[in-house]
Amino acid sequence: MINAEHYVNRELSWLEFNQRVLDEAADASVPLLERLRFLAITSSNLDEFFMVRMGSLRTAIRRNETGVDPSGMTVSNQLDAAAKRIQQMMDVQYRIYLEQLEPALAQIGIRRRHVTELSEAQSEFVEQLFDEQITAILTPIAVHDPDNFPLLLGRTTNVAVQLAPLSEGDDYRYAVIPFGRSDLRFISLPAESGKEFILGEDVIALLVQRFFPGEEIVSTVPFRITRNADLSVREEDGTDLLAEMEDVLDERKDSFCVRLEISDLVTAPMLVFLKQLFKLRNRDIYVVPGPSGLGDLMRLSDLSGFESHTYPKWHACAAPGIDPGQSIFDAIRSNDQLLYHPYESFEPVVRLVKEAAVDPDVVAIKQTLYRTSRNSPIVEALKTAAENGKNVTVIVELKARFDEARNIEWAKQLELAGVQVIYGVRGLKTHAKACVVVRREPQGFQRYCHFGTGNYNEATAGIYTDISYMTCSEELGNDVISWFNATTGYSQLQQFDQLNSAPIGLREKLMELINFEAERCRNHSDGAITAKFNSLVDPQIIDALYKASQAGVKIRLNIRGICCLKPGIPGLSENIEVISIIDRFLEHARIFHFRHGGDDQVLISSADMMPRNLDRRIELLIPILDDECRRKAINILKTCMKDNSKARVIRADGGFNAPKMSADTGFRSQQEFQRQAKETEKNASEAMRRMFVPLEPN
C-alpha cells in the first residue's frame, strides 16, 4: 500500500527543478549571457515537458484513465496543478527577460529594436529584406476550413493575420504565415556599434499589408504551438523497428497540440479562432507579454565579441594517470582510471575506440550508443574498425527520445561499414553506457572496459558532469562480455559476478545495499548512504530509504531534478538530507556510496531512481573495484555535499530553500572541481619534468 502523504508529485517536482534553473537567470552574480542561456534552457525544458509529460497526461485523459499517482493526484488534478505552476513560472520568465535581461543586454551593445525604434537606414534595410527575401521564403495560408488546415510545425514561430469581413454581417477571415524552419527569427540590423536585431514576427507585423494587397488588416499576432511527442513504437514480433521509428517521427509532426503560446496583443476573436483551430482548452493557452519561444534566445548567448559576459572558457584537464604519449591500453593495464568530466578530458574515452580501430592486436569491439554528437569521432572509429576487419557489435538505441533521427542515420552508416548493429531490445530501451575492447596479448585475450554515467558524446562531455571508469578487471571484463551477449542475443540476463543490470538485478542490488545499512543501525552499529543522481521517483526505493532513515541511517542525497521523497519529516525521514546543485555544468553523474560497515561500497550507474529506468530499461550498475578510484568517487560526493553556494536544499513540500550562503562566502563545488583538476594536472606535469626517460636503441 502506498501512503500518498509520503510522496511529492513528480510533475510538480520537475517544475521546481526548472524553477531552480530559472533562478540562475535571475542571479545578478551570474555573467549576463549565462543568465540569458539559463533563461533559454528553462524555456526549452518547458517545451520538452509539454511534449512528453503534458502530452502523456492529455493522452491518459483521452483514454479515460482514472488512476492516481503515488501522491494521490488524478490525471486531471496533475494537468490543472501543472498548468497553474507553469503559468506562474512563465510570468517570472518574462519579468526576468523584459525587466532585467533585455535592458542589461542593451547596455552591453546587444539591442533588440522594435519597429518604432528603427533608424532611417534600418527601415530601408528591413523593407528591402522583406521584398527580396521574406516574401520569397514565407507563404501566407488562408484558413478556409480549420479541419483541413495545412500542417504547422511545433516549436516554430507563426504569425496569425485577422482580415476584415468581405461584407457587413460576415465573419472575420484568417490567415497564417508560418516561419517553418526558416532562419528569419532574428534579423541583424545595420548598426554603428554592437549588435542590433529585430524579430522576424515584428517585421511581418510592420509590413504585412504587402502580403495582402487591397485587404483591410484588423490585427496580426505571433504564436507558437507545441505538439505531443509521447508516441511509442509498436514492437510486436516481426516488426521492422527502424521503419516503425521513422513512422513515429512522422506522427510527431501532426500529433495533437498541447500548448499555444501567443502574444498578449491578441484580439478576442483571434484567440477564439486559434483555440478552435488547435482544439485547445483554456488551460492549454499561455498569453505572453513578449516574444514566444524564449528558448530561441540561446542564439544570442553565443554571440562572438561578448566573451567578457560569459563564464571563462573551461579547457578540460588531462587525465592524471594517462600519458598522452602512452598507449591507452598500457595506461589502463597499469591502473584503473576514474575520470570526472568535464573537469577531466573525455579524450581518453575517444582514444580507446580510435586506438582499438587501428590496433592489429584488437579483435573485437562491443559498444552501446544512446546519444551521440553530429560528427561523432567514436562512430567514425567504429566504422574504421569494422573496415579493418575487426568484429564490431554496436547496440544503437533507436528509441532515444528526440535523438531517434540521428540514431537511425548512424545505424544505417554503421551497417554499411560492416558493423553488426542491434536496434536495442524489444520492449526495453538500452540506456546503459558500456564499451569493451578485446585485445590479443601474450598472456591471452585481454578485455579493456569503459563504463560511463553519460553518453558517448564528446560535445556533451564538455558541459555535463559525468563519470568514466576504465578498467581491465578480469571480473568486470567477463561480466560485460556476458552482458553484451545476453543483450544482443536471445538469452536472458543472468547473475553476474560484479555487474548488476536492469530490469533484473539492479533494483534488487540497491535495495540489498540500502537494507544492509538499515540492519546495521538496528543492531546498534552505524550506517550511512551518500548518493548523487538525477531523479528519485521510484516508490520502492523511496520506501527503503524511509525505513533506513527510521533505523538511524544517515542519508545524504544530491538530486539534480525530480525528488518525490519528502526529506526531514520527524518519524519518517529526519535522517535524510537532499540538495540540488544547479551551476554552470549540468550535474549528470550517478554515484552511490554505502558505508557497508567500513568496507566502502562505491558504484556508478547509467540509471536514475525511476520506475522506467529500473523496470523498463536496460541499465548497468558498476562497482568501482580500485581503491584509488573509489576514494576519488567518494571525494566527488563529499565535495558536492559541501556546496553551500549553488546547492538548494529540498524541502518536504517539494519546494526548496536558497543556497545556505552567498556566492561570495560560500563553497562552490564546481569551482572546487576545476581547482582540483588544474592542481592535479600541474602536479603530474611537474612530476614528468623531473623524470628522465632514457632513449634506448631499437
Which residues face 196 on adjacent strands? 111, 189
What average pLDDT does the chain have? 92
Say whether pLDDT at 662 is over 90: no
pLDDT of residue 479: 97
Among 581, 580, 517, which Cα is nearest to 550's? Answer: 517
Say whether pLDDT at 693 is over 60: no
Query: For the chain, what's the residue count?
Result: 698
pLDDT of residue 585: 98
pLDDT of residue 366: 98
**Fold match between 328-496 and 501-685?**
yes
Q: Which three cell numbers stand for residue 299?
A: 542564439
620 vs 601: CA distance, rounded Å: 16
Q: Summarize the confidence of residues 506-513 as an average pLDDT.
A: 98
pLDDT of residue 617: 93
Q: Which fold has domain 328-496?
A: Endonuclease; Chain A (3.30.870)
pLDDT digits (tens, 9 = 90+) for 392-438: 999 988 876 666 777 788 888 999 999 999 987 878 889 999 999 99
Can you state the percent helix, strand and coil of the chain, rounding each to 5? Answer: 40, 20, 35
411 DSSP assignment: H
pLDDT of residue 238: 44
Say whether pLDDT at 556 is over 90: yes
pLDDT of residue 237: 47
pTM of the model: 0.93
pLDDT digits (tens, 9 = 90+) for 99-127: 999 999 999 999 999 999 999 999 999 99
Query: Catalytic residue at 431?
Result: yes
Output phi, psi for 213, to 5 deg. -60, 135
Parse the chain into domains and list their residue ranges: 4-309, 328-496, 501-685
What are the CB-based long-range contacts (under 8 Å, 24+) for 210-218?
Answer: 210/130, 210/131, 210/135, 211/135, 211/140, 211/161, 211/177, 212/140, 212/161, 212/163, 212/175, 215/163, 215/164, 216/163, 216/164, 217/161, 217/162, 217/163, 217/164, 218/162, 218/163, 218/164, 218/172, 218/267
Among 115, 107, 105, which Cα is nearest to 39's? Answer: 105
Q: Measured on CA atoms in the order 669, 674, 680, 682, is the torsion positive or negative?
A: negative
Q: Which of 431, 450, 588, 593 is catalytic?
A: 431
pLDDT digits (tens, 9 = 90+) for 430-471: 999 999 999 999 999 999 999 999 999 999 999 999 999 999
Mode of pairing for the β-strands spanning 195-199 and 110-112: parallel
pLDDT digits (tens, 9 = 90+) for 339-365: 999 999 999 999 999 999 999 999 999
Say whether pLDDT at 245 is over 80: no
Q: Which three cell numbers stand for residue 280?
A: 485547445
Q: Summarize the confidence of residues 614-643 as an average pLDDT.
A: 97
pLDDT digits (tens, 9 = 90+) for 52-109: 999 999 989 988 988 899 999 999 999 999 999 999 999 999 999 999 999 999 999 9
Mode of pairing for the β-strands spanning 434-441 and 362-369: antiparallel
Q: Summarize the confidence of residues 165-170 as an average pLDDT.
A: 90
Q: Which fold has domain 4-309?
A: polyphosphate kinase like (3.30.1840)
pLDDT digits (tens, 9 = 90+) for 294-335: 999 999 999 999 999 999 999 999 988 898 888 999 999 999
Among 604, 608, 593, which Cα is nearest to 563's? Answer: 608
pLDDT of residue 321: 85
Architecture (CATH level 2) of domain 501-685: 2-Layer Sandwich (3.30)
Distance, CA of 433 to chain centre: 16
Low-confidence winner among 37-41, 239-243, 428-432 (lowest mean pLDDT): 239-243
